[in-house]
Structure 1
Amino acid sequence: MERRQVLMGMTTLVALAASRVFADIPAMSPEVVSGTRLPVGQRKFTSPAVEAVIKKTTKALKDPELAPLFANCYPNTLDTTVETGAVDGQPDTFVITGDIKALWLRDSSAQVSPYLPLAAKDAGLKTLFRGLIRRQARCILIDPYANAYMHDPKAMTDLSWSQTDQTDMKPGVAERKWEIDSLCYPIRLAHGYLAATGDVTPFDDTWRDAMRTIVQTFRDQQRKDGDGPYKFNRTASEPTETLAHGYGWPTKVTGMIHSGFRPSDDACTYPYFIPGNAFAVVSLRQLADMTEKTGLDADFKAECLALASEVEAAMHQYGKMKDTSGNDIWAYEVDGYGNALFMDDANVPSLLSLPFLGFCAKDDPLYLRTRAAVLSGRNPYYYEGRVLRGVGSPHSGLNTVWPISLMIQALTSTDDTEIHACLGELKAAAAPRGFMNESVGKDDTAIYTRSWFAWANSLFGELILTLMAEKPHLMT
């Protein structure tokens, strides 16, 4: 089933107004049926370090709802979505999103990131990360413009909605929507792995070629010399599924990077997607930080730093708009001609997530003004319902809040009352099923999308562990 899922109640399926309709129904997580983790013998991957964290954390959590929810969610990626193997005698790891049997560069990175702090002391986890870093590098070299990939690099897509796309579909590609963040997440994962372990084993010639490809792709998508090599059209009833003229709407050359699609896999309204450009700035500096240890040369480091500075300067010049008091805030998307869109989408990168990504501090005045606008009626996808209040996404339809947005809100907040409220809403959102979902009805938590969405589960685990370390008075 496509990423734009149906809204599912516990006993009913309510169709969304989506761009395409298929007869197949998304896979229901076997865990959600029971409300608990899979039995040990059915789990895809087991980490002694992860199990120790679950035992320690659930014992320390005094909240009778948080403890079992953490025990369910934190290991969900390992339990249900990881497939390990070997390619050319080296570790290989393929991570599906859950109910879609393809690897998204974004999701796979975010799903495993909460386990990074444990990799140094768990050999199995270290092998898993080595395999995923290598797999992502090979995927990028297949096609840096793809967002999702097949397990078999020689197979054409088996995703029904991608099979007639008018773009240069290559074997091994599941979907070819160009999204800036797709190339940022593998850098973020590699940087986190190196920092956590000091292990340089996965950073071989293939990985270095992939990193050079990323930087060249960012350069090409500055579009200083024409539209560049990427073009995409899809026959669809929703405008979010295709690009105007194949390239997106016109822009002025600014130094920022064009994105065809948002991390929701929905088409950009204006091609300069500000959260994606912010993520690229952070990722390029992380890549520069890694050069010496990973065998990349000084010239490449200088190129990364120069590109990051150019993009950031262009963001400050072209990427802002005014709040209701006439003060600068970040726009969501711009075209360089003065046209700007303000909204936010729960998918990360988002405006709300800028400190989480490392682009700015939580108390940065420009961010705080932007954050206030995101969490208000200024944002057409911010909802306040009878049960939940938070940011949703046009991708999942109206009047649904994404648990991921509540997690990011808590992770970027310095206010204990706000964080406590987010935790309460997360418990309410997950209560009917025992796991996190993509989106949940603002007025009725029996309405939700995607019963098997590992990214949301992993991020919830990361939130709980972060709060245990930084704000234990809220947790114990």
Structure 2
Amino acid sequence: MLSRRKFIQKSSLGFGFAMMPTSFNFFDLNDFVSQRPELSKRKFVSTAVENTIKKVKKSIADSELAWIFENCFPNTLDTTVHYYQKNGKPYTYVITGDIDAMWLRDSSAQVFPYLSLAKDDEKLKNLLKGVINKQIEFVLLDPYANAFYDDNQKVSEWKNDYTEMKPGVHERKWEVDSLCYVMRLSYHYWKTTGDASIFDEDWKNAMLLILKTFREQQRKENKGPYKFQRGNGNPLDTQFGGGYGNPTHKNGLIHSMFRPSDDATFYPFLVSSNMFAVVSLRQISEIFKMKFSSLNIDNQFFELANEVDEAIKNYAVFERNEFGKIYALEIDGFGNALFMDDANVPNLLSIPYLGYANFHNEIYKNTRIFSLSKSNPWFNEGKFAKGIGGPHVGENKIWPLGLIMQALTTDDDEEIFYCLKTLKNTHAGTGFIHESFDVNNPKDFSRSWFAWANTLFGELILHLYDKKPEILKRKF
């Protein structure tokens, strides 16, 4: 099985199409044939999802954009889920697409847009409960791992990493956001459906383990139990300092050894992930206050959230002459900071999407201008597109995830229109959203089957359908 990075190096599939031109007339209307698997080969079929596709498609004036939505929105259900019952509980294993492993982050993001439809589809609701139950099972197995197998007999290609690899673990990169995504999905499932049945003993124990893990990674007393190194020679795949990362001045922030791109952090305090932790801890505090009030533990989640929040305000904000006060992506607590943004979520661009601050917040507005400027070393611009990329895929590449998040974090119609137009013009004729593409050659892309990007694109279209339907009525 290929790793993400090996897949990037070996892929760049073009499906035989020429480079997408800037003209909007590449396809004839009759060319927009569904790229979904035939009905009998789909992994899961939801009536609510199918009805939503039909309804939303009718509101999209641009036929090509409507076609991409039809292909992308159900992609997670069509191709990546395995639903089953075990010990009377539903479980859903969700692969990322081209890699047969379940990332805590990706699986949460892949199913998140379906939450709003669960009330109308009991079958879909059970599938979502199954994702949460599967994530809880994995967290209890190892809260420091980022990706898992459904079969604990399967041997990972990363079995020789210098860390504690347990059976069932695909990769053990410690990423704060992985656990935040688990908390986010649980919280929003409850808020959307009103169903508190997921909050059983296993769920409670997993949340307490997350609390313990976050505290360990504040490293107030010692370095904690986690360390990681990989001997493949790629500096983005390993960590400094014997696997513990660069030194830090302990200030209440949570250390994260890797970013949501699965790249190593340079400074261990990854600010956007700590922001995500603030939001997620407060959400779990609310659940514990409602469901487990007799334990009197909810205040522990809330107090940790406040401590991290205070540290962000005190240590993560820097004055930059051309931008004013902005957030750094990574810091070490000694005053050193990494000024860049990476397209993967959570990033600085996604702060309002995460719920940490709204897009009218002054520091966020300044940070957003920085992220989407050439002062961000991973902001790339070329013949076909401009947007945020990252070291995971290299220079002159951008991630469609960044374009989607750019559209989700602005109220500017023209900026949203630009993002949609660019996404439409860079899918290389495939009808799907890719991990990355070259800004001068969209047919040079990575990962033809990347369900997170596909489903997040669907989430954007649903967002516009609800909040800005007039944009979808425009021709691109």
TM-score under structure 2 normalisation?
0.93
2:197 is the alignment partner of 1:196 = no
> Which amino acid is the alignment partner of residue 200 of structure 1?
A
SS of the residue corresponding to residue 387 of structure 2 reads strand
In structure 2, distance between residues paired with 1:413 and 1:320: 22
Shift of 1:35: 6.5
Using the TM superposition, give the Cα deviation of residue 236 of structure 1 relative to its aligned residue in structure 2, in angstroms: 2.2
Distance 1:184 1:119 in 2: 22
User: 1:392 — aligned with what?
Assistant: 389
Q: CA deviation at 1:296?
A: 5.5
Which residue matches 2:120? 121
Say how many residue pairs are matched: 453
**Partner in structure 1 of residue 4 of structure 2:** 3
1:402 aligns with 2:403: no
Match of 2:99 in 1: 100
In the alignment, is the contact (CA less than 8 A) between 2:76 and 2:110 conserved in 1? Answer: yes
Aligned partners of 1:262, 1:180: CA distance in 2, in Å?
8
RMSD: 1.4
Distance 2:294 2:369 in 1: 42
Structure 2 residue 472 is matched with structure 1 residue 475: yes
Partner of residue 360 from structure 1, selected from 357, 369, 390: 357
Give the counterpart letter for 2:130 in structure 1: G
Conservation of the 8 A alpha-carbon contact between 1:150 and 1:157: no
Letter in 2 for 1:243: Q
1:237 aligned to 2:233?
A: yes
2:421 counterpart of 1:424: yes
Percent identity, aligned pairs only?
A: 49
Larger mean CA deviation between 57-66 and 224-233 belongs to 57-66
How far apart in 2 are the matches of 1:427 and 1:294?
45
Match of 2:324 among 323, 327, 339: 327
Give the AA of the match of 2:78: D
In structure 1, distance between residues paired with 2:193 and 2:13:
43
Alignment of 1:448-467 (within 5 A): 448-467=445-464
Preserved CA contact (<8 Å) 2:323 2:367: no
Distance 1:303 1:101 in 2: 36
Q: How does 1:23-172 map to 2 (within 5 A)?
A: 36-152=35-151, 154-158=152-156, 160=157, 162-172=158-168
Q: State yes or no: 1:415 paired with 2:412.
A: yes
1:58 & 1:237 partners in 2: Cα distance? 47
Structure 1 unaligned regions, length at least 5: 13-33
Cα offset, 1:368, TM superposition: 0.4
The CA distance in 2 between the partners of 1:286 and 1:155, in whole Å, is 35
Deviations 1:88-133 (A, max 9, x none): 1211100000000000000000000000001111011111011111
Report the equivalent of 2:263: 266
Alpha-carbon distance change, 296 to 71 in structure 1, aligned in 2, over 3 angstroms? farther
CA drift of 1:322 comes to 2.3
The answer (yes or no) to whether the contact 1:70–1:464 under 8 Å persists in 2 is yes
For structure 2, the residue ranges without an aligned partner over 5 or more in a row are 17-32
Q: Secondary structure at the match of 2:4?
A: coil
The offset of 1:82, in angstroms, is 0.4
TM-superposition CA deviations, 1:430-456 (whole Å, max 9, x none): 242110000011011100000000000
Post-superposition Cα deviations, 1:233-270, rounded to whole Å, max 9, x if no partner, equal: 11022211111111000000100000010001110000
Distance change (3 Å), C-alpha of 1:294 and 1:431: farther
Q: Secondary structure at the match of 1:86?
A: strand
SS at match of 1:396: coil
Is residue 35–residue 435 contact of structure 1 (8 Å, CA) maintained in 2? no
CA drift of 1:151 comes to: 0.7
Q: How do residues 263-302 of structure 1 correspond to structure 2 at under 5 angstroms?
A: 263-295=260-292, 297=294, 299-302=296-299
Q: Which moved more, 1:117-126 or 1:322-331?
A: 322-331
Q: Structure 1 residues 71, 296: closer, same or farther in 2, change over 3 A? A: farther
Tell me the distance in 1 between the aligned counterparts of 2:291 and 2:161.
37
Distance in 2 (alpha carbons) for counterparts of 1:156 and 1:343: 37
User: C-alpha separation between the residues in 2 aligned to 1:293 and 1:302?
Assistant: 12
Per the alignment, residue 15 of structure 1 pairs with none
Are 2:246 and 2:267, in contact at CA under 8 Å, matched by a contact in 1? yes
**How far is 1:299 from its partner?**
2.6
- Structure 2 Cα separation of the partners of residues 61 and 401 of structure 1: 25
* 1:190-217 alpha-carbon deviations (Å, 9 max, x no partner): 0110011111122110010000000110
CA distance in 1, matches of 2:234, 2:170: 20
1:157–1:175 CA contact under 8 A, matched in 2:
no
Secondary structure of 2:455's match?
Answer: helix
2:344 matched residue in structure 1: 347
Q: Secondary structure at the match of 1:373?
A: helix
SS for the counterpart of 1:394 is coil
Cα deviation 1:39-76 (Å, max 9, x = unaligned): 11110000000000000011121111111111000000
- Report deviation, 1:347: 0.6
Structure 1 residues 405 and 297: alpha-carbon distance in aligned structure 2, compared to 1, 3 A threshold: farther
In structure 2, how many angstroms separate the alpha carbons of the residues matched to 1:383 and 1:199? Answer: 44
Cα distance in structure 2, aligned partners of 1:87 and 1:54: 31
SS at match of 1:426: helix
Partner amino acid, structure 2, of 1:421: Y
